[in-house]
A and B are shown apart, each in its own frame.
Chain A
Amino acid sequence: MANNLVEFRNLRTNFYTSGGVVKAVNDVSFAIKEGETLCVVGESGCGKSVTAMSLMRLVSPPGKTEGGQILYNGEDLLTLKERQMRHIRGNEIAMIFQEPMTSLNPVFKIGQQISEPLIIHKGMTKKEAKKRSIELIELVGIPRAAQIFDSYPHELSGGMRQRIMIAIALSCDPKLLIADEPTTALDVTIQAQILDLMRNIKSEFKTAIMLITHDLGVVAEMADHVVVMYAGKVIEEAPVHELFRNPKHPYTQGLLRAKPIINQRQSRLYTIPGQVPNPVSLGNNCYFNDRCEHCMSICVDKQPPLNTYENRHKAACWLYEKGGEA
């Protein structure tokens, strides 16, 4: 059994907007094991990206991480000094983003952007850094690496830029790679290439990956373990096979049924009625209750706890509570 690399304990991150306090991450607990790919799934605004940003301590005002712990190798990242945190970022935990078009600085050459962390974090000389950079560019599957080293970002396509982002992220051999919707902006054939690349990295370097996505297809393909979030809360968590075979929470079930699947055409798609609740006015109830087919009286009155069931399967739903009264 692998050790926990990162453990979120009752994490709370709030955003103070003019409309009120948005609990973007609301009492979230889960763990990422060494060398494991953990997928966080959910719809826009469910708090999946904010969870990752909280881990990197990159939440900026009006957002604020206000409670809980994030243990990285047993050390609480939230109590570290900014200088120590900078060391963690890049060296230990690296991150790639959704928009490969804007996450590279357009005025620097690709080579400079890959070498920079090597020189800063690894203390390499310029020459060593260049050699290593070219290796990294080759590693992420870009031919003519020496030539790419001297190009500017605008000369590369979206898929290539995402590969470069991955190369930069890998430059300091991180233990954890956070990928926030890394393929959402890419075409399917390019997405397939990037997912392939990420799988190779995982098996070759034993890097743990925290993959944030809304696409259940990507989850099925990449994940070892899945966390489903809804309105700032973890509502279900399970190993990937268990989750797809036996989804417990009605929201997860709905998501799985609502997605059109190729070669499995139904005359009508299943839909989850209604929409995500307004994040400002959430009460002490199950946030999914007004969209749920199985809504019971207790769901409106009380929030279900995240309980553990067989096969490392956790769910927050009153349907599975004995008696349901608790």
Chain B
Amino acid sequence: MAQAVDTTSTNAEMPKTKPASPWTLAFRQLRRNKIAMSGLIVIIMMFLICFVGPFLSPYSLETMSGPSNKGPSASHWLGTDKLGRDILLRVMLAGRISLLVGLVAMMVSVAIGSTLGALAGYYRGWVDTIIMRFADIMLSIPALPLLIILGAVLSDIQVPPDQRIYLVMFLLGFMSWPGLARLVRGQILTLREQEFMQAAEVLGLRDKRKIFRHLIPNTIPIIIVVATLSVAGAILMESVLSYLGIGVVPPTPSWGNMISAANNLIDFKKRPWLWIPPGVCIFMTVIAINVIGDGLRDALDPKMKK
């Protein structure tokens, strides 16, 4: 790829170094960050295992595949649960759900948060006031009790479990947009005062161009960082809710509701294979995502070197 660029550039005076956009530089910086790269590898592995792994499993979710409550063995690497289901398969399928919840919640939050933040920052005045007051209200509602109440309501009106997952995703996303909206708004307010925005005004650029070419690309780094970290937040929150029995509900497995096996003293003490695998998965995933987020933050630092 790099060579292709070299051969196409015919300019004789062209010096050896190729022009590098800030994105290229950030990517190079990220690649040098060993910790972030190992985080990335862990996440990729996690995705591969969760999404490809189940196809390789000889068992299926619905059927009992062996004796119940058996510890790890050659046929069931992580043992079986009290209904005799294969834990490994359940952990993988639960991972699908948890990762999906994280991603979708992040996307919902980014879509709402960055749009509203950008609008508030660019138009200021009453648009800003309305959006930010709404965000303040959202931020002042304690999230956990609200989600518990909503979970209880959902159970009451008997939403089928497979649709409930989607509701959980959207709810989590909807709860977390105000933080991002504030950051984006702040960023846009600062950018507006930068001289290059005044230059855009003097040049008589259209609003569309000013917003989409000048403002938004400069807010993307911060959105990427916050979005990455919010995936971890959503996965954790989903685990909490599912553990409490109001997020993803059985029989659909999720890492959170699998851990709830640990709230039974016998399972907790005698059958650690029931709750350690999902616990380790949550732990690794969240750490890996946070590490990637930190690496991205360093790489995309707006204070660019030189």
Contact = CB atoms under 8 A, between A and B. Distances in A.
Contacts of B18: none
Interface string A1-24: 000000000000000011100000
B305 interface: yes
Interface of B: 29, 32, 305
A305 to B, nearest CB: 31
5 contacts: A17-B305, A18-B29, A18-B32, A18-B305, A19-B305
B150 to A, nearest CB: 45
Interface of A: 17-19
Contacts of B305: 17-19
B35 to A, nearest CB: 16
Nearest to B29: A18
Contacts of B29: 18
A19 B29 CA distance: 11
Contacts of A19: 305
Nearest to A17: B305
5 residue pairs, one from A and one from B, having the closest CB atoms: A18-B305, A17-B305, A18-B32, A18-B29, A19-B305
Contacts of A18: 29, 32, 305
Tell me if A's interface is mostly helix, strand, loop or mixed: loop
A19 B17 CA distance: 13
A130 B225 CA distance: 50
B145 to A, nearest CB: 38
B300 to A, nearest CB: 15
Contacts of A17: 305
A57 B29 CA distance: 31
A9 to B, nearest CB: 31
Nearest to B306: A19
Contacts of B32: 18
A45 to B, nearest CB: 10
A18 B305 CA distance: 10
A87 to B, nearest CB: 35
A17 B29 CA distance: 13
Nearest to A18: B305
A198 to B, nearest CB: 33
A17 B305 CA distance: 10
B216 to A, nearest CB: 28
B3 to A, nearest CB: 23
A19 B32 CA distance: 13
A158 to B, nearest CB: 21
A19 B305 CA distance: 10
B25 to A, nearest CB: 10
A63 to B, nearest CB: 15
A97 B185 CA distance: 35
A72 B232 CA distance: 56
B17 to A, nearest CB: 11
A183 B32 CA distance: 41
A8 B305 CA distance: 30
A139 to B, nearest CB: 39
A279 to B, nearest CB: 10
Nearest to B28: A18
A18 B29 CA distance: 9
B85 to A, nearest CB: 51
A249 to B, nearest CB: 27
A24 to B, nearest CB: 14
A18 B298 CA distance: 13
A81 to B, nearest CB: 34
A18 B30 CA distance: 13
A306 to B, nearest CB: 29
B293 to A, nearest CB: 21
A166 to B, nearest CB: 31
A61 to B, nearest CB: 15
A17 B32 CA distance: 14
B141 to A, nearest CB: 34
B113 to A, nearest CB: 32
A18 B304 CA distance: 12
Nearest to B32: A18
B32 to A, nearest CB: 8
A75 to B, nearest CB: 37
A90 to B, nearest CB: 31
A238 B305 CA distance: 36
A278 to B, nearest CB: 10
